[in-house]
């Protein structure tokens, strides 16, 4: 490899929302490790993963029960390339955003990646079914450029039109609200009026990471309760707290309300700052998490999979 990474290194795995037709294709074309991952995923899932990831169409790829195992496959392919290319000696910590937490746990050895693949497909199916059980249509909105107190005031005011909760605290001026669609739409209007740099209703047609997912959360917990889980062999930072998971019991507690409780990614970045992480590698499509790290961890080097394994593979931008 032409790139030298400074340790300690954090490996980050993205979640739902990063999917796009074409994802993983460059890795698949260049690396035997990636080809093995895609072929194995198709065997495990009995799903045309390569077609869906490489060609879409977007409407099919964006189905929750499809995109979750597809995104995980791309992330796992990138992880296998990283492991073969750089080894794990400099890796200090792993973390994954929402769906990505399951990839991080597989990479850390808490569950096998094949098991994780089946688990996230079931998670997607449960979430897709949840849409049919809601009394009101649900949704999520990302708000960028306002302080937390402003977003909380918007949430409280918009809640007059429907239930609305904080779902993601991604950074000091980046939040996601989740709830009933009338409240989500009102939050968009209020956020833009308040001067938000961006207020974007997400393409996720359900109120993830909110109490409205209670039925789905119970169904997913029943799946998790039957799942054999080991202690991660690498430190993994929990979505709920941003702190290292220190026991199997703690891990089960982290996952028990995975669809109901918010993701506090800002705390994850605080923990990485305290660990004095020097390099962040986002192993998956895009660089959403790498960009957040670049803004909030002073002096950190950030890479995503295609940059590290395709664009700069010979030490020179492609």
For residue 258 the two structure tokens come to 């995975």
Q: How far apart are the first and last CA of the chain?
A: 14
DSSP 8-state symbol, 6: P
Q: Which of 6, 85, 97, 98 is catalytic?
A: 98
Q: Do residues 203 and 58 lie in contact, with contact meaning Cβ atoms separated by under 8 Å?
A: no
Tell me the chain's radius of gyration from C-alpha atoms.
19
- Give the pair of three-digit tokens for residue 242: 């941003």
Per annotation, catalytic residue among 97, 178, 209, 258? 209
Contact 258, 237 (CB under 8 A): no
Chain position carrying tokens 């990614």: 265
Query: Which run of H or E residues covers position 78?
Result: helix 64-86
The closest alpha carbon to 240, from 226, 256, 254, 252, belongs to 254
Task: Give phi and psi for 268, each to the nearest 5.
Answer: -60, -45
Please state, in angstroms and rounded to a whole number, the distance separating the CA atoms of residues 151 and 158: 10
CA-to-CA dists, residue 9 to 12, 25, 87, 270, angstroms: 10, 25, 11, 15
Least Cα distance to 57 among 44, 46, 48 occurs for 48
The C-alpha atoms of residue 87 and residue 250 are separated, in whole angstroms, by: 28
Query: Quick check: 284 and 75 in contact, CB under 8 A?
Result: yes
Cα 233 to Cα 97: distance, rounded to the nearest angstrom:
19
Question: For residue 38, what is the enclosing H or E element?
Answer: helix 32-45
Contact 212, 138 (CB under 8 A): yes
98 among known catalytic residues: yes
Catalytic residue set: 98, 209
């Amino acid at each position: 490899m032409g790139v030298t990474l400074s340790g300690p290194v954090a490996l980050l795995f993205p979640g739902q929302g990063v999917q796009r037709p074409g994802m993983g294709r460059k890795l698949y074309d260049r690396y035997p490790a990636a080809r093995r991952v895609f072929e194995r995923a198709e065997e495990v899932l009995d799903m045309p993963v390569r077609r869906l990831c490489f060609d879409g169409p977007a409407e099919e790829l964006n189905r929750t029960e499809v995109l979750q195992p597809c995104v995980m496959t791309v992330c796992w392919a990138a992880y296998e390339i990283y492991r073969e290319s750089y080894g794990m000696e400099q890796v200090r910590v792993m973390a994954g955003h929402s769906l990505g937490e399951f990839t991080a746990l597989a990479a850390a050895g808490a569950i096998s990646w094949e098991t994780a693949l089946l688990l996230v497909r079931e998670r997607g199916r449960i979430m897709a079914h949840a849409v049919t059980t809601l009394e009101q249509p649900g949704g999520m909105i990302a708000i960028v450029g306002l302080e937390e107190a402003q977003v909380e005031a918007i949430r409280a005011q918009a809640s007059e039109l429907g239930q609305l909760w904080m779902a993601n605290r991604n950074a000091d001026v980046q939040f996601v609200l989740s709830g009933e669609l009338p409240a989500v739409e009102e939050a968009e209007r209020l956020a833009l009026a308040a001067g938000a740099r961006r207020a974007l209703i997400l393409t996720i047609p359900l109120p993830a990471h909110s109490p409205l997912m209670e039925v789905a959360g119970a169904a997913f917990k029943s799946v998790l309760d039957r799942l054999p889980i080991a202690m991660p062999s690498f430190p993994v930072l929990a979505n709920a707290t941003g702190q290292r998971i220190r026991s199997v019991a703690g891990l089960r507690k982290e996952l028990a309300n995975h669809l109901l409780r918010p993701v506090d990614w800002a705390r994850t970045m605080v923990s990485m700052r305290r660990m004095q992480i020097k390099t962040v590698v986002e192993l998956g499509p895009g660089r959403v998490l790498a960009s957040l790290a670049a803004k909030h961890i002073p002096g950190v080097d950030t890479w995503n999979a295609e940059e590290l394994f395709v664009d700069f593979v010979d030490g020179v931008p492609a």
